[in-house]
Amino acid sequence: MTQNQKNYALPIAMMFALFFMISFVTGLQNPMGVIVKDEFGASSFLSQLGNFANFIAYAFMGLPAGLLLKRKGYKFTALAAITVGFLGVVIQFLSGQMGSFAIYLLGAFVAGFSMCMLNTVVNPMLNTLGGGGNKGNRMLQFGGSINSIGATITPVFVGYLIGNAAKPTISSANPALYIAMGIFALAFIVLSTVAIPEPHMEKAVEKKEKDKYSPLSFRHFVLGAIGIFIYVGVEVGIPNISNLFMTGVDNGGLAMDAAIAGSIAGTYWFLMMIGRFVGAAVGAKVSARNMLVVTSLAALVLLLAGMFSPLASTVKMPVFMSDISFGLAPVPVGIMFFILCGLCTSIMWGAIFNLAVEGLGKYVAVASGIFMVMVCGGGILPLIQGAVADLSGSYLTSFFVVVAGFAYLLFYALVGSRNVNKDIPVE
């Protein structure tokens, strides 16, 4: 076992690097929502269309990505994803040069195809290399921590860029786009030279027989897939809508400086990183089910406290600043509670994925593709949140969407995650 772990060190490191890429490119859509509100006069609903375009690509690519992984393997799928991702970032860069919102949305959509394909690779790969079960969950928590580093840097960095621009435009974020293109290019070169184990790739000599079962035959997987749809939606919605709440002048917005708001939003992802490191440390000892129960309950408490805290009450909150240091920023107490939710959402992806694929055996690769379809919730729920904010005239009211989401995740942890289909053959 020790020897296998040693042999898998480089593939694991590569998967961690891909986790960083996923969060960095995906995270660009958060501060971009602030930019398009300023540059194009978009509503809260329209400001989330870039995020929607990025995530809705998962609905189109999730199943094809799972089949590609099964037939061509991890390495081929990852290299194809990196190529597509590079193209998506280039299109977003060109949208800034042309001042076109439509081309920006196209770039976000193309980048979303890449993120879906990469997610399809890294999650089952890390779970498999970790050994499944609690050990697989621990490996996913480590990968999630790397993911949070990229997610933390993006809104802080772009917030700093647009905060220093006379009039924020998509071109203001060009340095971040250059970094993304560089990361993709470097990863392609490195991954091309790395040997990747292929535990789930279909062998050419295998006899093709139609299987009467699929991942959808397992109740705990179906409910887990719904859980991923909801989880990604609330994970993205909390910082995205909080950022709009802080910078907006409509819907009860606080009209805060964009750089400070970006730093506060970045602190949410920083807390997710801290939570994932803690989750990784205890993941081999504490079950994914117990972790999900505790964090879902805590998130509900924090959200409700944030929604009903008076806006006049402020607190000096330590935030992750643009110069890679901590500083104190005065924020309403409610915003602080929303940001603290990052500690709760930190471990949920790994826990839900681990619970949903447990006992699926040969169906894991296709299950991962289905999971990627459901990641489109990251675009749909924030869009719904933005619409609720516009219709109600209140960003705070829109957080009831998030409350309902965490209530479902608590149900899944307590009841829905139990495998009641153990009679289905999985070898």
As a whole-number percent, the residues of the chain with pLDDT over 70 amount to: 86
Range in 63-72, 160-169, 246-255, 324-333 the model is least confident about: 160-169
- In this prediction, residue 209 has a pLDDT band, given cuts at 50, 70 and 90, of low
What pLDDT score was predicted for residue 201?
A: 63
The residue among 265, 273, 271 whose CA lies nearest residue 246 is 265
Q: How confident is the model at residue 33 (pLDDT cuts 50, 70, 90)?
A: confident
Q: Which CATH number fits domain 2-195+215-416: 3.90.1150.10, 3.40.50.10070, 1.20.1250.20, 3.90.550.10?
A: 1.20.1250.20
Exposed/middle/buried for 212, CB within 10 Å: 0-12, 13-18, 19+?
exposed
How buried is residue 10: exposed, middle or buried, by Cβ count under 10 Å (0-12/13-18/19+)? middle
Task: Read off the pLDDT band of 3 (50, 70, 90).
Answer: very low
For the segment 364-380, the average pLDDT, to the nearest whole number, is 82
Instruction: Over range 326-337, report the average pLDDT.
Output: 84
Q: State yes or no: pLDDT of 13 exceeds 80.
A: no
When the pLDDT of each residue in the chain is averaged and rounded to a whole number, the result is 81
- Report pLDDT for 299: 96
Q: Rounded to two decimals, what is the model's pTM?
A: 0.75
Q: What is the pLDDT of residue 329?
A: 76
What local confidence, expressed as pLDDT, does residue 298 receive?
96
Res. 4 pLDDT band, cuts 50 70 90: very low
Name the range with the highest mean pLDDT among 252-261, 283-292, 323-332, 379-388.
379-388
Helix/strand/coil for 100: coil
Higher pLDDT, 16 or 4: 16
Locate the domains of the chain by residue range: 2-195+215-416
Structure token digits, residue 223: 């409910």
Least confident piece of the model among 1-5, 129-133, 399-403: 1-5
Q: How many CB atoms lie within 10 A of CB 326?
A: 12
Give residue 340's pLDDT band: very low, low, confident or very high (50, 70, 90): very high
- What is the pLDDT averaged over residues 20-32? 78
386 vs 364, more confident:
386
Q: Which helix (H) or strand (E) holds 327?
A: strand 326-332
The 3-class secondary structure across 26-77, one letter per residue, is: HHCHHHHHHHHHHHHCCCHHHHCHHHHHHHHHHHHHHHHHHHHHHHHHHHHH
User: In the structure, what pLDDT confidence band is assigned to residue 415 with cuts at 50, 70 and 90?
Assistant: very high
**Residue bearing the bigger pLDDT, 7 or 308:** 308
For residue 77, is pLDDT > 60? yes
Mean pLDDT of 291-309: 95
The answer to whether residue 313 scores a pLDDT higher than 80 is yes
**Looking at residue 208, what is its pLDDT?**
54
The number of helix segments (H) and strand segments (E) in the chain equals 16, 2
pLDDT computed for residue 395 by the predictor: 92
Residue range 323-342: average pLDDT?
82
